[in-house]
Amino acid sequence: MFIKRLISGILLLILAVFFIYTGGLPLLLITAAISFIGQFELYRALGIEHKGLAIIGYMATAAYYVLVYFGGVYYMATVIVVTLIVLMTAYVITFPEYRTEEVTAAFFGMCYVPVMLSYLYLTRSLPEGVYFVWLILLSSWGSDTLAYCSGMLFGKHKMAPKLSPKKSIEGAVGGVMGAMLLGAVYGYVVTSSLFSAEISLFTCSAACGIGALISMIGDLAASAIKRNHGIKDYGNLIPGHGGVLDRFDSMLFTSPAVYFAVRLLEEMI
């Protein structure tokens, strides 16, 4: 299991580096593909994957990514509002075929996976985004590794014993502080004469810390959904890791967190 997890983890990292570095349409397409798969996994966990409401959710995701590509953030709110209106229209017209919680699940699934993950592409599209986008990986996967190490060495106080008994407050602190250190080192490297990026080292460190803190919510939220619905993993697409949501759960939260942190911090400096 460890070897399988290690190999698939390395392959994921290689693919992530390739698509993020490339940016543009290839990154948008792979982000959309991951979103569709994650959305399906969530709908399956919520028991609506084969219902008409799910089809509306998938169509909304397709429209959302098309508009994100052509209009950036300007049309995002429009798609979200229209999706809700269409779902409620289907709910009313077909009543009583669907229950309220199924409509809520369809809308939630569209916002939770595709919208949140789209900020990976949006961060890459920012000025100097080719440098800022790596903070998402550092604050997500990097902080997760550092939190695990810190928890193993110093963990005594449980952070969320009912959701994740192995996670500790000490591990969380270590993950955030470690992510800030990683961000600072990264900022130092890319602003050196080797890359000469015109970004702030403080922004890199602070954005990584914010992303790492928010990533814990993403990780625990995904665990809470699984426990509520009695499943161990969202899928088995990624050997040793489970489904897409099992691997990208924290990134759903770090992507918008880093995006907004970078924009805010760069404006303040």
Per-residue pLDDT in tens (0 to 9) along the chain, 269 residues: 557 666 777 888 889 889 999 999 999 999 999 999 999 999 999 999 999 999 999 999 999 999 999 886 777 888 999 999 999 999 999 999 999 999 999 999 999 999 999 999 999 999 899 999 999 999 988 888 888 888 888 878 888 888 787 888 888 888 899 999 999 999 999 988 777 788 889 999 999 999 999 999 988 998 899 999 889 889 887 776 788 898 888 899 999 999 999 999 988 76
Give whole-number Cα distances, 188 to 154, 176, 198, 200, in Å: 29, 18, 11, 9
Contact call for residues 197 and 266 (beta carbons, < 8 A): no
What are the tokens at 236?
């088995």
Tally Cβ neighbours within 10 Å of residue 100: 8
d(CA 201, CA 182) in angstroms, rounded, equals 11
What are the tokens at 20?
């993020």
Cα 92 off chain centre by:
32
DSSP, collapsed to helix, strand or coil, labels residue 165 as strand
Cα 185 off chain centre by:
23
Tokens 């897409």 found at: 244
Find the farthest-apart pair of alpha carbons in the chain and give their distance in angstroms, rounded: 65
Determine the pLDDT at residue 5.
67
Determine the pLDDT at residue 192.
87
pTM tops 0.85, yes or no: yes
Tokens 């543009």 found at: 24
User: In the beta sheet, which residues pair with residue 242?
Assistant: 238
Angle value at C-alpha 143, between 25 and 130, nearest 5 degrees: 30
Contact call for residues 233 and 127 (beta carbons, < 8 A): no
Determine the pLDDT at residue 43.
97
What are the tokens at 155?
């963990």
Closest alpha carbon to 148 in 169, 173, 175: 175
Determine the pLDDT at residue 6.
67
Tally Cβ neighbours within 10 Å of residue 47: 12
What are the tokens at 4?
């399988």
Determine the pLDDT at residue 27.
96
Determine the pLDDT at residue 53.
96
Tally Cβ neighbours within 10 Å of residue 195: 12
